[in-house]
Structure 1
Amino acid sequence: MPVLVFDLTGPFAHYKKIFATTTALTYPIPPKSSLYGLFAAILGLEKEGNNYLNSFREGSCRVAIRLMRPVAVQRLTINLRPSFGALRGTENRKPTLMEFVDRPHYRIYFTHRDEELYGKLKDLLERGQSFYTPTLGIANLIGQITYVGEGKAESSREEDIDSVLPKRALEKLLPPPPGRNTRLMEVGQYAVEMLPSRDVTVRENIVLDRGGLPIAARVTDAYRITGLSENADRVLFF
């Protein structure tokens, strides 16, 4: 299975948690549904009516996410407005303490059943181009995309996983090797699949190591990503 690999970085990221219409809290990694928006921005897919989501119907696209640096969070005060457009003197702005991921660095692994879409994304990544500006969750958090290359995913029974783990694929956590101080956390209610109506059809709990270290675990559906370096990345797609 061919896989495109690229790094997503920036000064800050904010991926609003989905269990509230307004919240200052962020997920530590991008939900899969947010990555669909990122892929669509690179490809220039139609945003009107969320039509781009038709290109990412459930089962057509699989991704894996690896933390390339430890998760760090900052809380900054932001002035929120009740409306869009030009600022009116009668508007009350609400100072709100918001949570941001500080200097995020994610490695994204992408594969898709549509060979034409896959090939177009590969071409744009190779040329360092994007139709729309990539962001890290919200519009003013500009992201930087660095293409790593194209690898090959080979099914494996790895027990040391570099990527985050969807909990449904986790059979058993194993003792970490001597000297590895893991800081595991489970984050719930990730939006995984979404319709153009923005109804979430699949949610998932994600297990990750806050330090970005590999997770010792017995899992289902693990893959080795070969062809990029001597040390193959070990990931789970979802």
Structure 2
Amino acid sequence: MGEHAAAASAIRDDAETCLSFTVRGPWGHFRRIEGNIVKQTYRVIPRTTVAGLIAAMLGIERDGYYDLFAPGNSLVAIEPVSELRTMKLPMNTLSTADEHLSSLNPRGKLSIKLPDPSKPRQQHNYEVLVDPAYRIDVWLADDERYEQFRSLLEAGESYYTPSLGLSEYLATVEYHGEYPIETGPTGGTVTVDSTVPEAVDSIRPDPETRYQIEQPPAFMERDDGGRTTSAFVSYAYNPDGGPLQVDDISTQRIDDRTVVFT
């Protein structure tokens, strides 16, 4: 299962600025690791999905970006800016098991295996997010990748098309700008706009504010099979897209907002 990720209580001295953008789309699905007949989704976009989204925009290969977003090499804050509501959709799928794959151009130099369209379809219920939107603040220790990402955001460009979990759930990206990372309030009760990582016991209950907890993957690393989750993080968040009241945690200020990085 991997270790739990700790919130970034101390910001590196060279983490002076971050890039801020909002990603949104009509649909989203971030598959939970728990397996059952209904393919459930995390409500908050996982940090690993944010890393994959940015890597896709930069044009980095599938398993080539884990070090870029490793602990100490990156900071990410996630703020839901829409109500996180879901619905269930039945979908017909084809099996991707090896015995159900057929090869295209099996005698050529390049052979691609695809699901056999003659096989019976399987119906699964997918839990999907409806009109999800998240504001993301990100810093990268790799200056070259940071500058490349800033240039892409400023130009409204992307190497691969952004999506929210599944390739068919296309997303749009709105760039807000580059902002200084400033020290936020740390004592007493603080109003936090972003999700609050690893601080479940610090949430101050409010009868007018809902909050929920989930534990998505936070970091990944390469292995012989491709990749594996190396750490998880527990997020507290407001499913209505608003702030939370939190006691005695370290925060940062970004664009007149209070956030917590992982």
**TM-score using structure 1 length:** 0.88
Q: Does the CA-based 8 Å contact 1:9-1:144 persist in structure 2? A: yes
- 2:66 touches 2:219 (CA, 8 Å); kept in 1? no
Post-superposition Cα deviations, 1:9-30, rounded to whole Å, max 9, x if no partner, equal: 0110000012339851000011
2:210 aligned partner: 183
Counting aligned pairs with the same residue, the percent is 28
- C-alpha contact 1:170 1:218 (8 A) present in aligned 2: no
2:258 maps to which of 191, 211, 234: 234
Q: Return closer, same or farther for 1:88/1:69 CA change in 2, 3 Å cut-off.
A: closer
**Aligned-partner residue type, residue 164 of structure 2:** L
Which residue pairs with 1:161 in the alignment? 192
Cα distance, 1:86 vs. partner? Answer: 5.9
Question: In structure 2, how many angstroms separate the alpha carbons of the residues matched to 1:130 and 1:162?
Answer: 27
State the distance in 2 between where 1:152 and 1:21 align.
Answer: 43
- How many residues align structurally? 225
The amino acid that maps onto 2:221 is L
1:170 to partner: Cα distance: 5.0
Counterpart residue identity of residue 76, structure 1: L
**1:114 aligned residue (142, 147, 155):** 142
- Give a deviation string over 1:28-85, Cα, whole Å, max 9, x none: 01111111111111111122xx122232222211101111111110111111210362
Asked if 1:172 corresponds to 2:202, the answer is yes
Letter in 2 for 1:149: G
1:201–1:219 CA distance, 2 compared to 1 (3 A) = farther
Gaps of at least 5 residues in structure 1 are 227-231
Q: Distance in 1 between matches of 2:249 and 2:200?
A: 7
| Alignment root-mean-square deviation, CA | 1.8
CA contact (8 A) 1:17 1:23 kept: no
* Deviation of 1:220 (Å): 2.4
Give the stretch that moved more between structures: 131-140 or 216-225: 216-225
Pick the structure with more strand per residue: 1
* 8 Å contact kept, 1:170–1:219: no
Q: Runs in 1 of length 4+ with deviation above 6 angstroms?
A: none
* Equivalent residues of 2:181, 2:253 under 8 A apart: yes
Indicate the residue corresponding to 2:60 in structure 1: 45
Asked if residue 149 in structure 1 is aligned to residue 173 in structure 2, the reply is: no
Question: Taking structure 1 as reference, are residues 117 and 21 closer, same or farther at Cα in structure 2, changes over 3 Å only?
Answer: farther
Q: Distance in 1 between matches of 2:46 and 2:22?
A: 16
SS at match of 2:147: helix
2:220 maps to a residue whose letter is M
Q: Residue 48 of structure 2 corresponds to which residue in structure 1? A: 33
Q: What is residue 229 of structure 1 aligned with on the other side?
A: none
Scaled by the length of structure 2, what TM-score is found?
0.81
Equivalent position SS for 1:57: coil
Deviation at 1:125, TM superposition (A): 0.3
Q: Is the 8 A contact 1:192 1:202 kept in 2?
A: yes
Larger radius of gyration: 2
**3-state SS of paired residue (1:51):** coil
CA deviation vs aligned residue, 1:101-153 (integer Å, no higher than 9, x gap): 10001101101111111111000000000001111001111111111111111
Which stretches in structure 2 are left out of the alignment for 5+ residues? 1-15, 102-113
